[in-house]
């Protein structure tokens, strides 16, 4: 549960709150198809050295990158723990999720740690004990589709310890010493990654570090399955990635508007 150093944001607070609408039925909000309670940890505590600044707070369309991430995640969760740099938890630099009248998810904001894995653990400490499935999602992936969330959650709901979305590798690859790699044997891993809550907590119990949580879970003995990712679910790392994200967002909004006109 949210404790010292964490800031809760709910529909009743006067502070800015988050867009968070259920998929089709408010009663199913934050639960898997089998009824398990789903929470998420959004990891957004990085400094963005390669980007040239804290990319998660960069504007994308009419809101920040992080607002897009949290909005998409909240559609699938009872609550979202957003892990941000300590400077963004209070005062004039504090980040607040986007205000919207149609809010149902609880949002908890907490300061991150020294590494990505430390930040995940900071987030995990705020997830309620009764959560059964926990997602971990990068705060720099603003375009994850509902399909990616659904496939990852469903895999764990159906018995997997953990599920990661993956996409094909399209570039030719070589080892650094020069020999070629068969790219057909490899996939690129995305987030959101989904976990049985007990599996994720056990994976982090030893305090180890890894570039993603599935690696820690696998090292702790869990079985990780792959689900289909989405090539549009890019991670903003370099400044030019934001330009790509803007184009993809505009395309998605145009597609949604076109469907809306057709359905009227």
Predicted confidence (pLDDT) at residue 208 exceeds the cutoff of 60? yes
The per-residue pLDDT for 25 is 41
Range with the poorest average pLDDT among 42-51, 60-69, 134-143: 42-51
Which of 240 and 30 is assigned the larger pLDDT? Answer: 240
Predicted confidence (pLDDT) at residue 15 exceeds the cutoff of 50? no
Cα atoms found within 13 Å of the Cα of residue 152, Cβ hemisphere only = 33
Q: How many helices (H) and strands (E) does the chain have?
A: 6, 13
The per-residue pLDDT for 189 is 98
Mean pLDDT calculated for residue range 189-215 = 97
Predicted confidence (pLDDT) at residue 12 exceeds the cutoff of 50? no
The single-letter DSSP state of residue 14 is S
Predicted confidence (pLDDT) at residue 247 exceeds the cutoff of 50? yes
Range with the poorest average pLDDT among 14-23, 34-43, 53-62: 14-23
Report the C-alpha gap between 15 and 17 in whole angstroms.
Answer: 6
Maximum CA extent, the chain: 59
Provide the phi-psi class of 61: left if phi over 0, else alpha when psi is between -120 and 50, else beta.
Answer: left
The per-residue pLDDT for 35 is 79
Predicted confidence (pLDDT) at residue 65 exceeds the cutoff of 60? yes
pLDDT digits 0-9 by tens, 114-155: 999 999 999 999 999 999 999 999 999 999 999 999 999 999
pTM over 0.85: yes
pLDDT digits 0-9 by tens, 144-170: 999 999 999 999 999 999 999 999 999
pLDDT digits 0-9 by tens, 170-188: 999 999 998 999 999 999 9
User: With contact defined as beta carbons under 8 Å apart, do 224 and 163 qualify?
Assistant: yes
pLDDT digits 0-9 by tens, 73-103: 999 999 999 999 999 999 998 998 886 544 4
DSSP sequence for 161-216: SEEEEEEE--S-EE-TTS-EE-GGG-EEE-S-EEEEHHHHHHHHTT----SSHHHH
Band of the pLDDT at 197, cuts 50, 70, 90?
very high
Predicted confidence (pLDDT) at residue 18 exceeds the cutoff of 80? no
CA-based nearest residue to 18, from 81, 76, 103, 94: 103
* Full set of structural domains in the chain with CATH: 6-263 (3.90.550.10)
The per-residue pLDDT for 262 is 53
Q: Mean pLDDT in the chain?
A: 86
Mean pLDDT calculated for residue range 69-75 = 94
The per-residue pLDDT for 16 is 32
């Amino acid at each position: 549960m949210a404790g010292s150093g964490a800031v809760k944001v709910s529909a009743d607070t006067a502070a800015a709150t988050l867009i968070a609408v259920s998929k089709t039925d408010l009663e199913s909000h934050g639960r898997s198809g089998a009824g398990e309670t789903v929470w998420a940890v959004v990891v957004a505590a990085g400094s963005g050295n390669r980007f040239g600044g804290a990319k998660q707070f960069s504007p994308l369309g009419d809101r920040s990158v992080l607002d897009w991430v949290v909005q998409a995640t909240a559609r699938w969760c009872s609550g979202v723990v957003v892990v941000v740099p300590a400077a963004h938890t209070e005062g004039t630099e504090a980040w607040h999720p986007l205000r919207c009248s149609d809010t149902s998810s609880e949002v908890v904001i907490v300061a991150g740690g020294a590494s990505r894995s430390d930040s995940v653990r900071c987030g995990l400490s705020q997830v309620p004990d009764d959560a059964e499935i926990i997602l971990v999602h990068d705060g720099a992936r603003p375009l994850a589709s509902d399909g990616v969330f659904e496939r990852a959650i469903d895999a764990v709901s159906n018995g997997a310890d953990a599920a990661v979305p993956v996409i094909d590798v399209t570039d030719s690859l070589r080892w650094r010493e020069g020999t070629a790699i068969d790219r057909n044997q490899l996939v690129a891993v995305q987030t959101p990654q989904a976990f049985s809550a007990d599996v994720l907590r056990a994976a982090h119990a030893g305090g180890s570090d890894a570039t993603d949580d599935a690696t820690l879970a696998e090292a702790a003995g869990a079985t990780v399955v792959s689900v289909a990712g989405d090539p549009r679910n890019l991670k903003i790392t370099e400044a030019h990635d934001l330009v790509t994200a803007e184009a993809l967002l505009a395309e998605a909004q145009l597609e949604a508007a076109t469907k809306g006109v057709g359905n009227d």
